[in-house]
Amino acid sequence: MTPVMAEETDISTVPVDWRVMIVEDHAAIASVHKQVVDSVPYLRTEHVARNGEEAMLAVRHVQPDLIILDLSMAGGDGLTFLRRLRREGLPIDVIVVTASRGGRVVQECTHLGVVDYLVKPFSAQRLRGALTAFAMRRRALNATSELTQADVDTIQASGSARQERKLPKGLKETTLRAVVATLEANPEPMCSDRVGEQVGIARVTARRYLEYLQLLGVVEMSRQMDGPGRPRNRYRLRQDPR
């Protein structure tokens, strides 16, 4: 459900990034979370807090769009912080990361509106899936004010492996594979016009597939001058796929 861009220079309509706060008392784990966050297009780590109390003091200044929240921390646990966050009506998405498997805790977190619940230990791929799902939801919500049921289904999807494989509305698996194959055959960065020509689809359609692949971290985008005028977006497969 990636929005269709009318021109190559319309990238200004896409948010550069969304701010992420990590609330985790183990520095090594927080560092791993930060690496994963910063590897996802349109996301950046804005602040790392060591516990719920520290996070509460920082949240209004940082104004995060998303919080990655551990529940068990000394000096202010995550569940108390989450309750306070909701009590104050702060519109921030939350992904819980915890070793807690208790049904009551999961249920309360669900009632408190967390967008995903990851049980430690989990893979970096699982966290990346949750972050990618968040970014896709935000882009979908920013793209239109009128949502179909299919749109809502995509927006509500978590980062689980089952949901992550579901393509946004209007994208086809066969065409996606053709776009990837075209990029594999052309090591130099390509604009959406050229990708569309080689795949046999319209430029704006090619742009949707390229943006989706970029969001998943499969493709990287750069802006390059193509003669006089504004730079154009060009895409190629990541050299160090994650």
Q: What is the β-pairing status of strands 18-23 and 219-224?
A: unpaired
The residue type found at 55 is A
Tens of pLDDT, residues 125-170: 889 889 988 888 887 776 656 766 766 766 666 666 444 456 777 8
- The angle formed by the CA atoms of residues 83, 87 and 89, to the nearest 5 degrees, is 120
- Greatest alpha-carbon span in the chain: 61
What pLDDT shows up at residue 17? 80
Nearest to 114 by CA among 170, 76, 69, 72: 69
Give the model confidence (pLDDT) of 30-48 as tens digits: 999 999 999 888 899 999 9
In order, the DSSP letters of 78-108 are: HHHHHHHHHHTT---EEEEEES---HHHHHH
pLDDT tens figures, 178-234:
898 898 888 889 999 999 999 999 999 999 999 888 877 678 888 876 666 677 889
Strand partners, 24: none
Compare 95 and 119 and report the one with higher pLDDT. 95
| CA–CA dist 198, 191 (Å, integer) | 11
Pairing label, strands 219-224, 232-237: antiparallel
Q: For position 242, what pLDDT does the model report? A: 38
Domains of the chain (ranges; CATH) run: 18-131 (3.40.50.2300), 171-237 (1.10.10.10)
More confident residue, 40 or 12: 40
SS3 state at 23: strand
Which pLDDT does position 4 carry in this prediction? Answer: 35
Query: What is the pLDDT averaged over residues 52-56?
Result: 93
